[in-house]
Structure formats: C-alpha cells, structure tokens
Structure 1
Amino acid sequence: MSGHSKWHNIQAKKGKTDAKRGKIFTKIGKEIMVAVKTGGANLDANPRLRDVVAKAKASNMPNDTITRSIKKASGELGDANFDEIVYEGYGPAGIAVIVNVLTDNKNRSAGNVRHAFTKHGGNMGSTGCVSFMFQKKGQIVIEKKDGLDEDELMMMVLDSGAEDFEAEDEVYVVTTEPEDFGSVREALESNELEFLEAEIKMIPDTLTAIDESTATKFQKMLDQLEDDDDVQDVYHNAEFPEGFEE
C-alpha cells in the first residue's frame, strides 16, 4: 500500500475544535439511541451498544456523557425513529465515497448529501457503485508510546483473534473481521490499552492518489458532509498528498 500512513490517509476527519467534538458526541449519541432501541440498554447483552460505547471512548467522550446518553435513549425510545441509509458516489477525480446516514427525514438527507457531492465536483451514484471497492472490517488504532513493546503487542493482538497487525509512523493498526471485532477489542481493553479509534468501518482495497488541488476540493466536500447532523460516517479511498493541510 502506498503512502506513509494508510490510516491517516483514509480516516474520516474527527476534528479538533470543541465545536466539532460536540458534533461528534451528538452523532455518537444518536448511534447509542439506535443501538439501545435495537438491543436494549444492558451493555452485557447488547454487542452493538458495546461497540458504540468503544467508539465513544476512542473519541474521548466522557464516561458520564456516555451513561447519560444510554439513560436518555432508554427513556425516549418512543420518539427515536431513525433510518439507517448508505449513499455511494464519486468525489472529484473519481474518488470513491461511502456516506452512512442516520436520519428521521430521508428526503432531507438525500438532498443534502447529493448537494455536497455535486457542489464539489462529484456525483452521487446508485447503491453498490463503489462499495465493491471496500471491505467491512473492524479497526482498532493504538498510539505508539514509550513502554509499549511492538512484538508483545503484535502477539497479544494475533492471539486475541485479529486478522492483521500493522505498524505505521505513529500508530499501530489492528484489523479484524466484523464478527471478531468485539472479542478482540475486549481482549485488548482487558490489558488496559487505550484506543485512538475502535469501530467497524469500510476500508478501501486500494487508494487513489490525488494532487493538492483535488485534495483541497475534496476536503471541502468532506467538511460539508461531516458537518451534516444526519451524516454519521464518511469513507473514501483518497490518498492525500504528503503533508497536505486542510
């Protein structure tokens, strides 16, 4: 795989400002609500909720906020009615893009997502037009730190049932099959490891290298999509130029 850091090249941007962090927490709260409605508020009996909580912790969502979100979801199930929709299409220069949405208004979401594509030189396609270029995998990202032995971590990861372990510039990336994600994550958590990311996502088979001009245009498209309250996750196969800054 080309590029000095595959994870940094393909990750959806999480944002660093308080405003963006607040928006991320709101979106995760919506995921918690759907997970509770689907399988109940008991973490031990609801694997989907456990996965969302792991994602919340990796995004630095405080434990009391997570607990409040679960309690709120338990008390508002009658009002929670979100549809899960996946949109696919192409960004500028043919970048493959997948947009996951949780919405209470399909028409609004479809219009907003389509506008983001067309405004920035892309076009929304039909279901399946790009998803074949991606694989659904669990991904756990661990920051490299002093005292964390790479060989020991690799053996721990593989013994827990992970599919792959990769060392990058600043992080270790653990890949699992979706059905093994929970058990691998819990095994690593039991060893008190902290995660920069822990979620099931769509990972591209290959990356599409883009130049600075295309990267700038595509970044604006990503920002518009991720600012949309209905959009939960954006996956793509763009390889940004080394050193690119938004």
Structure 2
Amino acid sequence: MAGHSHWANIAAKKGVIDKKRGKLFGKLSRAIIVAAQHGGGDPAMNLALRYAIDKARKASMPKENIDRAVKKGCGELTGEKFEELVYEGYGAAGVAVLCDILTENRNRTAGEIRKIFEVHGGNLGSTGCVAWMFERKGLFLVPTENVVEDELFEIALEAGADDVSANGDVFEVTCSVESFQHVSEEFENRKIPTNLAEISRIPANTVDLGVNDGKKVLKLMEALEDHDDVQSVTANFNIPDEIMAEVIAD
C-alpha cells in the first residue's frame, strides 16, 4: 500500500488538497450525484451515497452543496449525467497507475488523460492492463503522534479492520469495503483523527523509485489529480525515506 499512502502524505505536505478545495468540491459533488443516481437519495438505504456525503462533510463542503448534488442525482434538479470509468496506464519506471473517472464525455476525457500520461513520460494502457495488481480496500492513515499502536490495533480489529501497520509518521489501517463504514464510525466515536479515510485501491506489490523517476511519477500524479474528471489516482510506487525529501523538494 506504499504507493497510495506515500501519495496521500506527499499531497498533504505540498498543500495539493488545500490549493484545490474548489475543484475538490466539484469532484465530491459528482460522486454524490452518481451515488444518488444509482441508489436513490436516502443515505440510510444507499451506502455509496452515505460514503460520498461523509467524505464531503469531512472536506467541509457546505450543506447546501451536498443537498443540491443529491437532488441532481435524484432528478429533482437538472444536471449532467456522469459515466463511471477506470483508466489504467504506466508512469516512469513501469509504475502502474489507476484513475477513477466520472465524466459526461468519455471521448474528451480519454484524450486529455492520454495526453497527461504522455507529457509526464508514461502511457495510457488498455482496460485490465494494471487493475489486476490492485485490490479495493478501506484505507485509513492515523498520525502516530495521536494514538498508541496497541490501542489502535485493538480498536481497529474489533471494528472489523484486517491489518494495522506502522509506516513512518502514520499507522496504516486497512479493512474490507464492507467494513469501511463501521471502522470509520468507530474511529470517529473514539475521537481518533485520520489524515486519510477512504475506499482505495491497494497495490499487491510496489516499485522502488529513485530521485529522477520519483519526481516524474509525482508530477504525473499531481497532473492527473488536477483533472476535473479524475476522482482519485493510485499507483504502486514506493519512494525510500532516505530520498523522499529530495524528491518532493520541487
């Protein structure tokens, strides 16, 4: 899981999320719209909608924006119809990259995503070329300074988590997609803060990167994250701690 947790921590350190809060709200709105389209507007009966709304609230998205997105998804307000896609490709050093997409125009999006890969030394691949390397799981990053490992381990496993491991200044907690909501609620009830709490794609294996390839991959990740149609990006890279500072210096 190093690729995803590395990117989450790097994005936070570089201020990527805060700089793009307006863009983030747009992406969260799309997720809410699509969830409501598929399963209705009641989050108690629609877990995908509940997850999307919880994620929006944690990002401090205004309630009126959330309500408007639900109404669009339910057809009470006019809005675009979004299609869910997964784009797969490769970055520098053969790093596998997955992009979760919500778009109203797949042809436009495909061309733009292909161009981003090419500009940053990668290439967009065919369906299924790298997806087999990843497994969908719930992922939480808990700052080590805020919790004792033994206590976190006990709470997480009792809530349904599969594993807890230390990775630098965070603990990584993983769980099944089905257990995600329960683990999330338990952490909230116990007032355990998280840097990240989401359903993610976890790589089975990772590629260690040096400085040059590390910089290329991070620029690719940032460019993909910046695209309006991209909901999330994950990859199977690992940047050793001893070269991390040099890689993120730009």
TM-score (ref. length: structure 1):
0.87
CA-CA distance at 1:96 after TM superposition: 0.5
Q: Distance in 2 between matches of 1:182 and 1:17?
A: 23
Residue in 2 that maps onto 1:213: 212
Cα distance change on mapping 1:144 and 1:60 into 2, 3 Å: farther
Q: Distance in 1 between matches of 2:63 and 2:166?
A: 29
Paired residue secondary structure (1:163): strand
CA-CA distance at 1:161 after TM superposition: 1.0
Q: Is the 8 A contact 1:10 1:238 kept in 2?
A: no
Residue in 2 that maps onto 1:87: 87
Task: Check if 1:233 corresponds to 2:235.
Answer: no
Residue in 1 that maps onto 2:153: 154
Q: Distance in 2 between matches of 1:82 and 1:98?
A: 19
CA-CA distance at 1:93 after TM superposition: 1.4
Q: Distance in 2 between matches of 1:149 and 1:68?
A: 40
Q: Is the 8 A contact 2:137 2:177 kept in 1?
A: yes
Q: Is the 8 A contact 1:7 1:173 kept in 2?
A: no
Q: Distance in 1 between matches of 2:226 and 2:114?
A: 14
Partner deviation per Cα, 1:107-139 (whole Å, 9 max, x = no partner): 001001111111221111111111111111111
Q: Is the 8 A contact 1:82 1:103 kept in 2?
A: yes
Paired residue secondary structure (1:44): coil
CA-CA distance at 1:61 after TM superposition: 3.7
CA-CA distance at 1:86 after TM superposition: 0.6
Size of the aligned set, in residue pairs, is: 242
CA-CA distance at 1:185 after TM superposition: 1.7
Task: Check if 1:202 corresponds to 2:201.
Answer: yes
Task: Check if 1:242 corresponds to 2:244.
Answer: yes
Paired residue secondary structure (2:20): helix
Structure 1 or 2: larger helix share?
Answer: 2
AA matched with 1:32: I
TM-score (ref. length: structure 2):
0.85
Task: Check if 1:185 corresponds to 2:148.
Answer: no
1:136-147 pair list within 5 angstroms: 136-146=136-146
Partner deviation per Cα, 1:204-223 (whole Å, 9 max, x = no partner): 11211112112222222222
Residue in 2 that maps onto 1:26: 26
Q: Distance in 2 between matches of 1:184 and 1:8?
A: 18
Q: Distance in 1 between matches of 2:17 and 2:122?
A: 27
Partner deviation per Cα, 1:81-121 (whole Å, 9 max, x = no partner): 10001111111111101111100001001001111111221
Q: Is the 8 A contact 1:10 1:237 kept in 2?
A: no
Cα distance change on mapping 1:95 and 1:17 into 2, 3 Å: closer
Q: Distance in 1 between matches of 2:89 and 2:237?
A: 13
Q: Distance in 2 between matches of 1:58 and 1:50?
A: 12
Paired residue secondary structure (2:228): coil
Unmatched 5+ stretches in structure 2: none
Identity %: 40
AA matched with 1:242: M
AA matched with 1:52: A
Q: Is the 8 A contact 2:138 2:200 kept in 1?
A: yes
Q: Distance in 2 between matches of 1:55 and 1:102?
A: 16
Q: Is the 8 A contact 2:72 2:78 kept in 1?
A: no
AA matched with 2:6: N
